């Protein structure tokens, strides 16, 4: 008798891809209970044939070979728009759900991908694109029945929050702290994606679509470095690199900018690589969500949770032992 198993495909085996494999293995029995089937990683698509990889996974180096496999779900774990959007589109057109943490791809192509998913009766899930382990997209969707959101303020980049925290506690030169963050693995070799605000902007675009149902009309992005070199907070003040979205008349603004804030601000106490998102609402004032912003396990667990939520939403409950 055919085994009743979820066949999983993973695109990419970097920090996030490895995290997905680890979470699936470490929580295998629990996940099987939640989705009412066994789970199995069938193939992992990678591009470097020469790189040595441990474990008993089945790695595939050829896209044509990977796409011929019969997957029930695909985790997209690479960066950039292409080839990620082409890979995601292909599987959505086969009716296969795709789970992604790729904020650049989704910020630029999310609307088109959602339309493809809808056309082919499946879903693209993107919880992990915005706040790492913070389940902000699901929280927004669950609160939107009665609540109306009027503003977003968030610390959505762990690298820059680590930098401003370290600078406050230790002093010194900002770019020296960037070098130290690179040595510790908190910052990329090219840190501009983080410290110039692109990462935060992509995440804010995605949240604007979920909160306000549209992309920003006007975007402003102010790099962190020059600000922290010129501005010295007074005692009791702190610098935060904040992503904000709000309306002025009918114009939706998205602003990534360093700000000096006071203790009463909801993001004042958020230090280190932690992320936090504060949503201003009509009935509950400010709701603040806090959690790990990045890293292998926070991102991977958010993606696996996102998939499980999808399965429980669309699939009937079947005993996990069925079909064995």
**Residue 232 known to bind ligand:** no
Total number of domains constituting the chain: 2
User: Is the domain of 112 the same as that of 21?
Assistant: yes
Q: Give the structural domain span for 214.
A: 136-292
The CA distance from 277 to 149, in Å, is 13
Query: Residue 203 catalytic?
Result: yes
DSSP 58-103: -EE--HHHHHTS--SEEEE---SSTTHHHHHHHHHHTT--EEE--H
**Claim to verify: residue 183 and residue 126 sit in the same structural domain:** no
Q: Is the pLDDT of residue 324 over 80?
A: no
Same domain? 117 vs 229:
no
User: 182 exposed, middle or buried (CB, 10 Å; 0-12, 13-18, 19+)?
Assistant: middle
| Residue 154 assigned as binding residue | no
Confidence of residue 1 (pLDDT cuts 50, 70, 90): very low
Beta bridge partners of 152: 245, 279
> From the candidates 52, 108, 184, 203, which is the catalytic residue?
203
Note whether 158 and 270 are same-domain residues: yes
pTM score: 0.90
Q: Are residues 97 and 126 in the same domain?
A: yes
Nearest 5 degrees, angle CA 272-CA 273-CA 274?
A: 90
Q: Encode pLDDT of 213-263 as tens digits.
A: 999 999 999 999 999 999 999 999 999 999 999 999 999 999 999 999 999
Would 20 be classed as within a structural domain?
A: yes
pLDDT at 193 over 50: yes
Mean pLDDT of 141-163: 91
Tokens of 17: 């891809």
Does the annotation flag 13 for ligand binding? Answer: yes
Rg (CA), the chain: 21
Same structural domain, 164 and 201: yes
Residue 15 marked in a binding site? yes
Nearest to 85 by CA among 105, 111, 55: 105
Is residue 45 included in any domain, yes or no? yes
285/148 same-domain check: yes
Look up the CATH number of the domain holding residue 156.
3.30.360.10
Q: 240 and 121 in one domain?
A: no
- Does some domain include residue 80? yes
Express as a percent the part of the chain with pLDDT over 70.
96
Strands 238-248 and 149-155: antiparallel
Q: Are 197 and 305 in the same domain?
A: no
């Amino acid at each position: 008798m055919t085994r009743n198993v979820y066949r999983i495909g993973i695109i990419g085996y970097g920090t996030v891809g490895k995290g997905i494999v680890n979470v699936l293995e470490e929580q295998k029995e629990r996940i099987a209970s939640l989705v009412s089937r066994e789970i199995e990683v069938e193939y992992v698509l990678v591009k470097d044939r020469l790189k040595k990889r441990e474990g008993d996974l089945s790695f595939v180096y050829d896209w044509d070979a990977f796409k011929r496999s019969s997957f029930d779900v695909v985790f997209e774990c690479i960066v950039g728009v292409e080839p990620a959007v082409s890979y995601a589109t292909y599987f959505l057109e086969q009716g296969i759900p795709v789970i992604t943490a790729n904020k650049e791809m989704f910020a630029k192509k999310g609307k088109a991908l959602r339309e493809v998913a809808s056309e082919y009766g499946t879903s693209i899930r993107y919880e992990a694109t915005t706040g790492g382990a913070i389940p902000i997209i699901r929280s927004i969707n669950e609160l939107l029945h009665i609540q109306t959101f009027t503003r977003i303020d968030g610390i959505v980049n762990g690298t820059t929050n680590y930098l401003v925290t370290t600078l406050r506690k230790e002093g010194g030169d900002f770019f020296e702290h960037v070098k130290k963050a690179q040595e510790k693995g908190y910052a990329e070799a090219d840190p501009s994606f983080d410290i110039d605000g692109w990462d935060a902007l992509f995440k804010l675009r995605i949240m604007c679509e979920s909160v306000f149902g549209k992309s920003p009309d006007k975007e402003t992005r102010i790099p962190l470095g020059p600000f922290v070199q010129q501005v010295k907070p007074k005692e009791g003040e702190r610098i935060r690199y904040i992503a904000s979205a709000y309306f002025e008349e009918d114009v939706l603004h998205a602003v990534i900018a360093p700000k000096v804030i006071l203790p009463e601000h909801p993001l004042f106490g958020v230090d280190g690589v932690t992320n936090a998102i504060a949503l201003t609402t009509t009935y509950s004032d400010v709701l603040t969500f806090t959690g790990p912003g990045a890293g292998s396990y926070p991102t991977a667990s958010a993606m696996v949770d996102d998939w499980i939520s999808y399965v429980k939403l669309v699939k009937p409950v079947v005993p996990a032992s069925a079909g064995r």
